[in-house]
Amino acid sequence: MMKILKILFLAGAIGSLYSCSNTEKADGYGNFEATEITISSEANGKLEFLNVEEGQTLEKGAIVALVDTLQLYLNKQQLLAQKETVASKSGGVWSQVSVLNQQLQTAKTEQERIQKMFNDNAATQRQLDQANSQVDVLKKQIKNVETQNAPIVNEVKTIEAKVAQINDQIIKSKVTNPIKGTVLTKYAEPGEIVSFGKPLYKIANMEEMTLRVYVSETQLSNIKIGQQVTVKIDAGEEMKDYEGTISWISASAEFTPKIIQTKEERVNLVYAVKVTVKNDGSLKIGMPAEMWLL
């Protein structure tokens, strides 16, 4: 009889342990996210080429597309020719200034000579006044000629600003990939006419994924930023484990999202948590996963 009771007791204990193991639940449920960037055209014109394909991995800084720059090039050449014409006017002005400066130097030399002669009573006051007057006249002439050059200089500066603007537009006609990542969607094809702001493709860094999960208020005391956790995804009949790190915890509560199915849990307030996970190629955007605290 005692043996039978012991057997029944052990059977009940094992059954209770088994039932407890089946009732274990993850500490958070959510879906994987990645930072998606939509690359758009910054120029208007014909799309000469677009070297991207969906699923392709692109390096940061790679030139992947080009918008036709012929009209920009022609406008730039026209402005450069206009600048040379305007600058030639300035050259004439500075030639006059150079001649007047030479005359001024000669007048100053004569002024100094007359001044010495006047000091030695070898020249009259009238001669000294004439020498001083000649120097003053030449200085005023130089100033007037330089004033004539100011509008020319301003016009040259205006043209140079327009050339710089066109150079910037030519640079922006080359589409440079901003991050290393995987092309998610391609929106345009070579030969299409694109305009400023038209999306060309979408890219995301898939090497490191973010799992957004939701935890209750009672769980907040058990988690902190930088904490190591286990992330699990479905892999056939079993679960595949990944190492994760909590990178962000929401500062405010929100209602449980629809991915939590039970009615009781949907009405509760929860906090969003982000877990960073290194991707081995199996993780995809939108894939459901579980977070387990270690």
Task: Specify the higher pLDDT residue, 4 or 144.
Answer: 144
Q: Assign 171 to helix, strand or coil.
A: helix
Q: What pLDDT band is residue 259 in, cutting at 50, 70 and 90?
A: low
Residue at token pair 């299409």? 192
Handedness of CA 113, 115, 119, 123 (dihedral sign): positive
- Closest by CA to 62, choosing from 193, 210, 178, is 178
**What does the pLDDT average to over 112-122?**
88
User: pLDDT by residue (tens digit) across 192-237?
Assistant: 999 999 999 999 999 999 999 988 888 888 899 999 999 999 988 8
Mean pLDDT for all residues in the chain: 85
Tell me the pLDDT band of 265, cut-offs 50, 70 and 90. Answer: low
* Chain centre distance of CA 19: 54
Contacts of 159 (CB under 8 A, 6+ apart): 79, 82, 83, 86
- Directed axis angle between helix 70-119 and helix 125-173, to 10°? 160
pLDDT in tens, 72-106: 999 999 999 998 888 887 767 767 778 888 888 99
Class of domain 26-34+206-293: mainly beta
Token readout for 75 is 């406008």
pLDDT at site 80 = 94
Contact 198, 46 (CB under 8 A): no
**Burial degree of 25 (CB within 10 A; 0-12, 13-18, 19+):** exposed
% pLDDT > 70, the chain = 87
CATH topology of domain 37-69+174-204: OB fold (Dihydrolipoamide Acetyltransferase, E2P) (2.40.50)
3 state SS of 229: strand
Average pLDDT estimate for 15-28: 55
Cβ atoms of 180 and 58 closer than 8 Å:
yes
By DSSP bridging, strand 208-216 and strand 63-67 are unpaired
Q: Which helix (H) or strand (E) segment is 157 a member of?
A: helix 125-173
Q: What is the dihedral of CA 117, 123, 126, 130, to 10 degrees?
A: -40
User: What is the rounded distance in angstroms from the CA atom of residue 166 to the CA atom of residue 170?
Assistant: 6
User: Which residues are within 8 A (CB) of 287 and not within 5 positions of it... i.e. 6 or more apart?
Assistant: 31, 32, 233
Tell me the domain boundaries of the chain. Answer: 26-34+206-293, 37-69+174-204, 70-172
